[in-house]
Chain A
Amino acid sequence: MKKGLTLEKFEEARAEILRDREIQKTGITICLGTGCHAYKCLEVSQAFKDETERQNLLDVVEVRTTGCHGFCERGPIVVIQPKGIFYQRVQPNDVKEIISKTIKNNEIVDRLLYVDPKTEEKIVYEKEVPFYKKQERIIFGNNGFLDPTDIIDYIALGGYEALSKVLFEMTAEEVISEVKESGLRGRGGAGFITGSKWEICRDVSSDTKYIICNADEGDPGAYMDRSLLEGNPHSVIEGMIIGAYAIGALDGYIYVRKEYPLAVKNVMIALDQARKLGLLGESILGSEFHFDIHVVQGAGAFVSGEETSLMASIEGRRAFPRQRPPFPAQKGLWGKPTNINNVETWANIPYIIKNGAEWYSSIGTRKSKGTKIFSLVGKINNTGLVEVPMGITLREIIYDIGGGIKNNKKYKAVQTGGPSGGCIPAEMLDLPIDFETLTKAGSIMGSGGMIVMDEDTCMVDVARYFLDFTQDESCGKCVPCRMGNLQMVEILTRITEGKGEEGDIERLEDLAKTVKEGSLCGLGQTAPNPVLTSIRYFRDEYEAHIKRKSCPALVCKNLIAYYIEPEKCVGCLLCLKNCPSEAISGERKEVHVIEQDLCIKCGACFDVCPPKVLAVSKLTGKKKEKILKRRK
């Protein structure tokens, strides 16, 4: 039974789509990524649709809702194509003005332009925005041009060309060697050479094989896979079909978390459309190759992202990882050889096939090829998703693309690779990023989370926070991860509470080693990284907590005291009124005093003290002891 289009019919259809697109319309593209959703982008896009209809502009203007553009900090984002005029923080009531000025009269709406905080210049075009300038948006770039719910857009941009090339011009072995030569490494964390992984799976003989797309993105603050699935699902699907062809799989699974409803919806729509066109199912594009993809929604356990537990979850069991070997390529889903790659890896495939391994391997460093999408979050001006070539330095990402640290604070560390990554200090800002350098620095590439921390961050507290997350998400199966991490959290909590003891650092290091070496899966094996790297680069902070009972970053509640400097206080009563525990005493125009025994260290006084006064300060360590003693 042959349902969908054959290759000729498909190419005819593509030609027709391209003919339609030749008539250049002005395109209003509105980002409909999850980030922009929070800023009411749906209302903005509706307003554009209504307004163009009302003004009878449908023939010359096309309103297109797209996936995430990456610059989530400035959403909702509207780009007027083909010129690429970039409007940010657009609200529904800006729509009329954009249409009447920009669309009709080619004028720029000044107030909606992005202002470069460094030069204070207004920037008109998307590609000139510093956030985008240093990026190399190969995988992610098309997000801004296509409507993810419409396969036509993807085809118009050359989508599924790679697939037809593979199906009709290449053998499976050729596909594998192309992917191998490209140097692509798994974007999910470990960085195994993708082509080799495929080859191993292809070489195992079995009547049934599976491929899986791991879309169980669990790192807090990381959302590149989500944005890819939401914004360009077909690139992932195309990559999977190619992979299935190379490996010889008949069925594929996309394991996506239920907390990503938009991604699930868009993927479902995309799969449906691909099936209708004969790009999935029996004899794809009229070839001898059959393949289909199923979607499985995960219940949101962090450990489900680990490949063996992900497969257990697909099989309907508790997401417990299991010992490897046997590796999934030998014995995977339902005991059959299985290849599992993450979303971004799959999305790379069509581009590699289309442009060739040579082109791909020209990007990046000697051992890490291509680009990598990072999710840049934390104390940084331009939060968002950035795609950069491998080998770019942290400094470039943080300062040039990210626009530097918020509120002109000092950079302290960046944590890469999610909660089990390590913290990289300022001395290493010029580190060119690739798999090896990050590992050497004690961190990991992970799936590409990047959490930037400023000088107000206590590294002990950060280590405790991340470890608390991983120990909470430990599946509970193996002892080192379940109990070792818990014991470490206990020690770290003690330290932040000022109850640290001599020898705690060594105890932490010992435990971290046991957990790393003894744990069953990647979660446990990497969980102690934040602790180990923070000890490695910020040992003095640990020592300050333990020996001097002081928190240099003034974060750990038990180690700090709020103090009103008598010489600065103007007696405005603001802090007194805002104190929830009535710890502050004083009369108008008289110096206020904090009763330390009553203070719960909520920081309300610190926050409300007027900027001109700034009488409230945080004290720690000896200074704290001294001043408090003096006060008594």
Chain B
Amino acid sequence: MKVIINKKIIEVEAHKTILEVARENGLFIPSLCDHSRLEPFGGCRLCIVEIKGRKGYFPSCSTYVEDGLEVRTETPKIKMLRREILELILSEHPHSCLICTEKEHCDEYKSTIRKVGEVTGCVLCSNNSRCELQDVVEALKIKRISFPALYRNFEIRKDDPFFDRNYNLCILCGRCVRICQEVRGASTISFAFRGSRAVVGTVLDRTLLESGCQFCGACVDVCPTGTLAERAVKPESLPDESLRTICPLCSLGCELKVELNEGRILRSVPSEQGAANRGQACVKGRFTLRDVVYSQQRIKRPLIRKKGELEEVDWEEALSYAAEELKKYKGTEIAVISSLQGTNEEIYLFHKFAHEALKTKNLDNSAHFSPLISYCDWIQEKGFSSEVNFKVEDISEAKTIFLIGSDLTVSNPIIGLEVIKAVRNGGNLVIINPQEIRLGRYASFWVKIKPGTDFFLLLSLAKTLIEEGELGDLSRIEGFESLNKSLDKIDVSRVFEITGVSENDLKDISKLLLEEKPPVFIFGLGLTQHPWGEENIAALWNLALLCEAQLIPLGLENNIRGELEIRRHFGTSGLSFNQIIQAARDNSLKALYLAGPFPYLVKEKPEFLVIQDSYSCENMNHADVVLPGATFAESEGTVTNLEGRIQKLNKIIEPQGEAKPDWWIIAHIAQKMGYKSFNYRKPSQILNEVKKAIPAFTDVSYPLLEKGEEIFCNEETEKKSKLIPVEYKLSSSSRKKDFPLLLLVNYNLDYYKSLNLSKEIKGLRKIRDSRWIKINPQDAAELKIEDGEEVEVESSSQRVRGIARIEDTIPHGIIDGSFLWSENPEFSIARFLSEFNPESFSLKMIPVRIRKGYKRKDNK
């Protein structure tokens, strides 16, 4: 269709607003409330235009084009109205600097402090020079304001983590309210009051924290004024540089824009171009990265233990010493723990280092806790193959989403946004989780399952699906007969008794799985890291085959997918992670090279211990050599995200102190040990080797990635699958008399290398403290445990401290704690690892008891 804007005929697509079309054609129309990610609002009225044949003025942001529409954007009348409207906006916004005739010379005279509590003009506002209001005033050439100022005199809200809210600067464009609702699905903030008292706020004016805010910062990023101001950058100068890189703090790999001033990181904001995150981030990517990089815990120089004490040495000495010592150990005597938070190149190099230099197969890491790895291991074991690549759009375009065993809002918040998008597009969400999760409000069904009964539920669901008879000819699927026979023993009428889910709900859910478009199953460690993990996977696998669903296993660390491809190449025949822990504990290992998370070595110490990390940690007490690694911001390479998307990690700043990238350290030790094949000068050389060795990475290249090309891991296209019979045994309750509660452990991703984020960053600690032991109010009352007090959780062999957090989202009889590698030993639920079967990586259903206070062991 065609429209005429200012006498110019323009060919346009329908479903676009006049404002969009005008902008695409280089026409400037001022606007303040419009935002590309949000639904039209039409509140600021600055973008008004005239339309031929229609009475009045229309906001171009919320008026859609129609064929033959004749629009004028710059008539004298419109210009006058816009100026008057802008003056009205300014009459309640501190505007003295905006119309000051001396503003050009102001920099020479003004004091530099922007820490002042009250913002009385632009020079005192942290948003100065990035303010959209300033831009519009400039564009409309406002020189004076004909109305008296009517300031609102609100108190500035400073009681929340990360940012202040100064509603005296607010122009009520509603972007924050809308992004919180439309994109983030949180609706933490809303408009309150009417008329001139209208203001953005929370329910009953509580703090954001009390209102359930997750501090994703989306509101701060869309605010056109200085109303929402990130506290950390308030006193800072403006950025002089902005570079893109990938967030290292979860498996989705959000692209971030890192702003710098004179080579120092100011802040990180989500990048609009990010393929996976599209302008969104979570609290970690948005507010914590600067503190992560500049943490006081950083190790800045290599250290060697001399006369019992760690001493700073230069790299040459540290590398030579490490190389010499490492040469002494071979094969089964040594083990390497690698990090999943590095680049593909680094992960590859760790494997190569273990195999070629140390000649050992004992390399492992925390990968086993990721559902992705559990799932792929299971597939491999069964001799099947299946694609694991996906795109986040697969989720947002799904008609039915089946979310089992994960609280996405915490574990993978940006994937959670895709789920919300799907629901907004008319999709249905089914949540299976014993705990109430935030996405629950978007669910068609929140199946509050009894803990540990997922297996029976999935089997019953499969049986219901088959019995409903709408799956077509099932004999086409290999293995159907034997599955069907094995399901004979499942008595669906007991589903309510066993799982707590009614038969009717089961039927309704099974109907949702039969929508025209195949459903998407997203599963987390609630399903896999479970005593029945393998059975659960098998049941889900069958169900997915029956309804042709797409299976998306979640991952934890940011390069878990890269590790998957690389470990497939090198093989995993050595000691597994748990076995290495065990071996370290019983001293059957002589040397240990720790470059990734590992439980604390309490008494046992191997003969030789190397620690390669960016942050000092407890295990350094036993280390012989400490090699300071660079962080994500200080190194270059590629990372593979959960989708299988390969992204470019860019070097943003020079390493702190003398820290070096992990690939550099490994390469140099190996060279010192005499291995010429480790002669790399830059990571691209490693990548070239990876490309040749591992087909998954064949297509990757730095220049293509930098150009913005989408590159995914290559996957085997051959699909091998069949339905497999399952056997259900009624499990006797795992609760024990002395240990009446069940501990469900969450794998906590709030860590980067050995840095505990919630310990390092006060704001994050307020949102979620890794020490929290969550307990149901009823259980807490019975045990007389109060919110915030110290408690002790005890199993048959271990105990750990924690801080009670009473939450009604936790079911009766359950306590929930987080598992964090870098937590203090006495608070670390990693202690319970010894209870695990060395072959399994279950995190759920540990029988425990809890009591007030904490008694030190040595007080006994």
Contact = CB atoms under 8 A, between A and B. Distances in A.
Contact of B88 (A318, A471, A474, A480): A480
Contacts of A301: 194
A477 B174 contact: yes
A480 B196 contact: no
Nearest to A301: B194
B81 A476 contact: no
Interface string B785-827: 0000000000000000000000000000000000000000000
Contacts of B629: none
A482 B84 contact: no
Nearest to B147: A487
B195 A486 contact: yes
B91 A487 contact: yes
Give the residue among B44, B174, B196 with the most A Cβ atoms within 10 A. B196
A518 B45 contact: yes
Given A514-B81, A517-B57, A476 B42 contact: no
Contact of A520 (B45, B81, B146, B150): B45
A518 B48 contact: yes
Contact of B84 (A472, A475, A478, A510): A510
A484 interface: yes
Contacts of A519: 45
B194 A483 contact: no
A309 to B, nearest CB: 11
| Chain B interface mostly | loop
A472 B198 CA distance: 9
Contact of A478 (B44, B92, B193): B44
Interface in A458-508: 471-480, 482-484, 486-487, 490, 507
A479 B85 contact: yes
Contacts of A322: 42, 62
| Chain A interface mostly | helix
A507 B91 CA distance: 15
A325 interface: yes
A482 B85 contact: no
Contact of B81 (A323, A486, A518): A518
Interface in B42-95: 42-46, 48, 56-59, 62-64, 81, 84-85, 88-89, 91-92
B445 interface: no
Contact of B62 (A323, A479, A514): A323
A520 B57 CA distance: 9
Interface in A513-571: 514, 517-520
B43 A520 contact: yes
Interface string A310-336: 000000001010110100000000000
B43 A478 contact: yes
A477 B150 contact: no
A4 B85 CA distance: 57
Interface in B178-203: 190-191, 193-198
A486 B196 contact: yes
A26 to B, nearest CB: 51
B30 to A, nearest CB: 12
B638 to A, nearest CB: 43
Given A318-B190, A323-B58, A482-B172, A477 B43 contact: yes
A484 B88 contact: yes
A368 B147 CA distance: 42
A507 B88 CA distance: 13
A490 B62 contact: no
Contacts of A482: 172, 195-196, 198
B279 interface: no
A398 to B, nearest CB: 32
A476 B167 CA distance: 14
A309 B197 CA distance: 19
A318 B191 contact: yes
Interface string B740-760: 000000000000000000000
B148 interface: yes
B235 interface: no
A525 to B, nearest CB: 8
15 contacts: A474-B195, A476-B193, A476-B196, A476-B198, A477-B43, A477-B172, A479-B43, A483-B150, A487-B148, A507-B146, A510-B84, A514-B84, A518-B45, A520-B43, A520-B45
Interface of A: 301, 303, 318, 320, 322-323, 325, 471-480, 482-484, 486-487, 490, 507, 510-511, 514, 517-520
Given A483-B89, A483-B91, A514-B88, 12 more contacts: A322-B42, A472-B194, A472-B196, A477-B172, A477-B198, A479-B46, A487-B150, A514-B81, A517-B81, A518-B85, A520-B42, A520-B43
Interface of B: 40-46, 48, 56-59, 62-64, 81, 84-85, 88-89, 91-92, 146-148, 150, 171-172, 174, 190-191, 193-198
The 9 closest A-B pairs by CB, nearest first: A476-B198, A483-B88, A323-B42, A323-B62, A486-B196, A472-B195, A514-B84, A474-B195, A477-B43
